[in-house]
Structure formats: structure tokens, C-alpha cells
Structure 1
Amino acid sequence: MVRRSAAARAWRQLPFFIWLVLLWMLLWGQFTVLAALTGIVVALIVTRVFRLPPVELSGRLHPWHALVFVVMFAFAVVRGSLSVAWIVLDVRRQPRNAVIAVPLRVDDDLIMTHTAVTSSLIPGSLLIDIDRDRRVLYLHVIGVRSAEDTERQRRTVLAWERRVVQAFGSRAQVKTVTDAAAGGAS
């Protein structure tokens, strides 16, 4: 019984272990056997020394929604880059900014992290704080001129949360964001 639970924990944590090895290889810029072996050693040390609470994966990956997420993210990065460039180059207007709070709908640390990172990687917004207990992201955004711009940015972050959940979330999480979107919250 102890073996089964230890094996189950190891199996659940395998994606994160693989991610640490890949991250190590990316940091060194080498995809060699030596980089993989040293990455495994570093990942073992990191996971044994810095014990974090295990993150439970939903075990669900919806390939179509994952592809939609990737394509939409690439489009948003290009669009955000062009928008920021335009704001910088438009000498007629002083760029305005705002700090906005975005309450998320799904109570899951992994979904919150993916949503926060995605929102912050798109040029024009930057994550400045997370209130984990209340599930609120605080972002600094540029190009905000009105309350409508602020609400549009909130809806954009909630749309990213919905895409993340549709691609990687559990069925209950998908239902939560789908119901919220149908109710006009997205």
C-alpha cells in the first residue's frame, strides 16, 4: 500500500520533473545527453531539497483547445507587441496606465499560475501581485484610457483563464468557466 501511494505520487509529479529537466536544458541552451543527465541530477536535488506541496493535475488535456490556446496566445503576443509599439511611437498622446484587479473564477493554483503567466507574457500587461486566498490577479496595464478599457482588459484575462481551463482543466472547472461565460461574466 505504501509503495502504491509513493508510486502514485511519483507518477503525478513526473510532468513537473520532466519540466525541470527541460528547463535545465533550455537554460544551458543544449539538448545533449550530458545536459539531460545533469538536468536529471539537478531536478532530483531540487525536488528533494525544496519540497513543495504537490500540485494535482486534472489529468485532462484537450488537444483542440490546447491548440486554440497556443494559436490565440501567439496572435495576442504579436498584437500586444504592435499595440505597445504604437503607444510608444505616438508622440501626440501620453500613455496612460492602470492597476486592475481581476477575480478569477476557478480555485486552482495551477490554473491561476497559467492564467497569470499568460496574461503577463502578453505585451502591455504585467502581473504585479496575486491574492491566492481570494483568487485575484493584480495587473499593471498600459493603454488604459477609460473604465471601458479597464473592463475590456478584465474580460481579456478571464478569457485567458477560460482557454487555460478548456485546454487543461477538469470537467468541473470547464463547467464553472462555461457557466460564468454564459452568464456574461467573461
Structure 2
Amino acid sequence: MTADVAPAPVPDQPSAVRRRLANVQLGVTLWLIVLWLVLWRDLTFPLVAGGLLVGAVVQLVFPLPPLRMHLRPRPVGLLVLVAVFLRDVVVASWQVTRIVLRPGPVTNAVVEIQLRTPSDFVLTIVGEMLTLIPGSVLIEARRASHTIYMHVLDVAAEDDVEEFRELALAQERRVLRAFGIDDSHLSLPPEQAQQAVRDRAAGEDVQGVVHGVHDEEDFG
């Protein structure tokens, strides 16, 4: 006589709705709210709620890859990021007005900036914030090397190129500090800095796996 064998329980599969909702990421949502407020140039509760709704819908319709960074928003860092950004917008608006009213030709340039942080999140924020500053527009972004190309108004000499490049890298530094991301790699050359971040992330992943194995052993 053969004993009946009960079928193994089938693990619950997440529904399509739950999989979609999992695409909504806190860091991306916060950034989209900030971008929404900057575009409206106002701060009200309805606008914040609208930015939250738009941010969630954008991520549901256009799923983004998960962030490979631990985001810990810092109030002081966020305040500095927004304050410096608003100052740059005001100063650049005045400079663009002066350039438009000034007689004679205007020399423009495409400036290449290789960021130190290999993160799509940082790449997007830096590129968008530089684009929102009058006189500069993002024309290309390369994920492979995390390089952005900005069209910049009134670039008369190589010193102007270096000045804008330093402005962009300072923006990257403020973004990292605003979101609590380790910025110890910024003093390194671009390629070495990106590799240092990847090595650090790989070490964190390995450490997480080891902790997971130990937890399973303790549970067993």
C-alpha cells in the first residue's frame, strides 16, 4: 500500500499590481517631487501632492531599474542643494539677459563632464539641474562612462570650459551629500573614482550575502 504524498505548497506569486507597485522607489519619487516644484516655481501642499502623484504614475508607466545606492536624505544637505541651485538660477538668468542685450557674436561650446559617481540616479539629477539653469542644456548622456555633454552659452576660452566643468562637479558633490551618499571617491580621477564606488558596492553585496547565510544558519 502506497502512502499518499501531499503536494509541495506552491509559493504565492506576486500579482501584476504588486509587481508594478514595487517599481515605485522612494529616492526617485522624492527627486521627481522636487523637480515638479522647481518647474512650477512654487511650494504649496496641492503642488506637493500633485508631484507625488505624477512621480508615482511615471514610475508605474515607465519602470526604472532599482537604485544601487543607499539613499539617506540629509535635511541640511538638501537645503544647501536647493539654495545653491536657486542662487545659480538667479545669477544665470541675469547673465543670459546681459548676453542677449550685448552687441556682437556669442561663442558657445559643448562641454564634456565625466562624473565621478557611476549612478544613473546621480547622472539624471546632475544633468536635469544643470539644464534647469539658464544658459546650459543637456544634449547627451552616456551611461557606460557616466558622462554628460552640455551645450553652454558664452564660452570664450578654455578657462570658461573648466569653470563650467567645476560647477557641474560641485553639483554632483552637493547631490551626494544631500542624499547621504558616500563622497569619499570624489578626490580621485573619474575612472578610478567610478571603480572605487563599484568595488565598495560589491563589498556591501558580499557582506549582505554573508549576513544572510549566517542568519539562515542561526535560524536552523
Normalising by structure 1, report the TM-score: 0.73
Aligned-residue Cα RMSD (Å) equals: 3.6
Report 1:36-47 matches (<5 A): 39=53, 43=56, 47=60
Please state if 1:13 is matched with 2:22: no
Whether the 8 Å CA contact 1:111–1:169 is kept in 2: the answer is no
- Over 3 Å counting, the alpha-carbon distance change for 1:21 and 1:80 in structure 2 is closer
Give 4+ residue runs of structure 1 displaced > 4 Å after superposition: 14-23, 42-46
Q: Residue deviations 1:15-37, cap 9 Å, x none? A: 546877996xx99xx939xx97x
Please state if 1:124 is matched with 2:135: yes
Match of 1:66 among 52, 55, 78: 78
- Partners of 2:97 and 2:172 lie apart in 1 by 26
- Over 3 Å counting, the alpha-carbon distance change for 1:109 and 1:45 in structure 2 is closer
- Over 3 Å counting, the alpha-carbon distance change for 1:44 and 1:104 in structure 2 is closer
- Over 3 Å counting, the alpha-carbon distance change for 1:113 and 1:77 in structure 2 is same
Give the corresponding residue for 2:46: 31
Q: Structure 2: which amino acid aligns with 1:175?
A: S
For residue 11 of structure 1, report the CA deviation from its aligned partner: 9.3
- Partners of 1:159 and 1:116 lie apart in 2 by 12
Please state if 1:137 is matched with 2:148: yes
Whether the 8 Å CA contact 1:21–1:43 is kept in 2: the answer is no
Q: Residue deviations 1:27-82, cap 9 Å, x none? A: 9xx939xx97xx48x946961x5433223452311211111111100000000000
Please state if 1:85 is matched with 2:92: no
User: How many pairs are equivalent?
Assistant: 165
Larger helix fraction of residues: 1
Q: Structure 1: which amino acid aligns with 2:89?
A: V
Whether the 8 Å CA contact 2:81–2:178 is kept in 1: the answer is yes
For residue 127 of structure 1, report the CA deviation from its aligned partner: 0.2
Give the corresponding residue for 1:104: 115
Give the corresponding residue for 1:170: 181
**What secondary structure does 2:99 align onto?**
helix
Unaligned runs of 5+ residues in structure 2 are 1-10, 190-220
- Over 3 Å counting, the alpha-carbon distance change for 1:139 and 1:13 in structure 2 is same
- Over 3 Å counting, the alpha-carbon distance change for 1:44 and 1:124 in structure 2 is closer
Give the corresponding residue for 1:184: none
- Over 3 Å counting, the alpha-carbon distance change for 1:143 and 1:111 in structure 2 is same
**Percent identity of the aligned residues?**
35
Whether the 8 Å CA contact 2:111–2:152 is kept in 1: the answer is yes
- Over 3 Å counting, the alpha-carbon distance change for 1:136 and 1:20 in structure 2 is closer
Normalising by structure 2, report the TM-score: 0.62
Unaligned runs of 5+ residues in structure 1 are 182-186
